[in-house]
Amino acid sequence: MRSIIVVGLIFLMGSCGSNNELIRNQSTGEALGTTFTIIYLANGTLNLDVEIDSVFMAVNSSLSTYIPNSDISKINRGDSTVRVDKMFKEVFKLSKKIHAQTNGYFDPTVGTLVNAWGFGPGKQIQMDSVTVDSLLNYVGFDKVSLSMEDRVAKKSPNIYFDFNAVAKGYAIDRIAVMLNDKGIGNYLVEVGGELVAKGKNLIKNKPWMVGIDDPEAGEERSLKVLINLEDRALASSGNYRKFRIDQSTGKKYVHTINPKTGYTKDSYTLGVTILADDCATADAFATAFMAMDLDKAFKVISMRPDLEAYIVYLDEKGKTQEFLTKGFAKLVVD
DSSP assignment string, 115-158: HHTT-SSS------HHHHHHHGGG--GGGEEE-TTS-EEESSTT
Within a domain: residue 51?
yes
> 1, 130, 15: which is closest to 56 by C-alpha?
1
> 322, 325, 330, 305: which is closest to 228 by C-alpha?
330
Within a domain: residue 139?
no
pLDDT of residue 263: 79
Within a domain: residue 233?
yes
Phi-psi region of 280 (alpha: psi -120 to 50; beta: other; left: phi over 0): alpha
Residue 171 pLDDT level (bands cut at 50, 70, 90): very high
Residue 269 pLDDT level (bands cut at 50, 70, 90): confident
> What is the Cα–Cα distance from 292 to 50, expressed in whole angstroms?
40
Give the range among 70-79, 166-175, 200-209, 264-273 with minimum mean pLDDT.
264-273
Within a domain: residue 324?
yes
> Residue 202's domain is classified under what CATH number?
3.10.520.10
Average pLDDT score over residue span 181-197: 96
Q: Measured on CA atoms in the order 149, 154, 157, 159, is the torsion positive or negative?
A: negative
Within a domain: residue 305?
yes
- For residues 160 and 138, is the Cβ–Cβ distance under 8 A? yes
Within a domain: residue 29?
yes
Cα 268–Cα 272–Cα 278 angle in degrees, nearest 5: 155
Q: Where are the beta strands (DSSP E) in the chain?
A: 7-9, 23-31, 34-42, 144-146, 152-154, 187-191, 194-198, 208-213, 223-229, 232-238, 243-245, 252-254, 269-276, 308-314, 320-324
Judge whether residue 294 has pLDDT over 70.
yes
Within a domain: residue 21?
yes
Within a domain: residue 80?
no
**How many domains, the chain?**
1
pLDDT of residue 16: 44
Judge whether residue 254 has pLDDT over 50.
no
pLDDT of residue 112: 83
pLDDT of residue 266: 62
Percent of the chain residues topping a pLDDT of 90: 66
> What is the Cα–Cα distance from 140 to 306, expressed in whole angstroms?
26
In angstroms and rounded to an integer, the radius of gyration of the C-alpha atoms of the chain is 20
Note down the domain range covering 178.
7-65+165-329
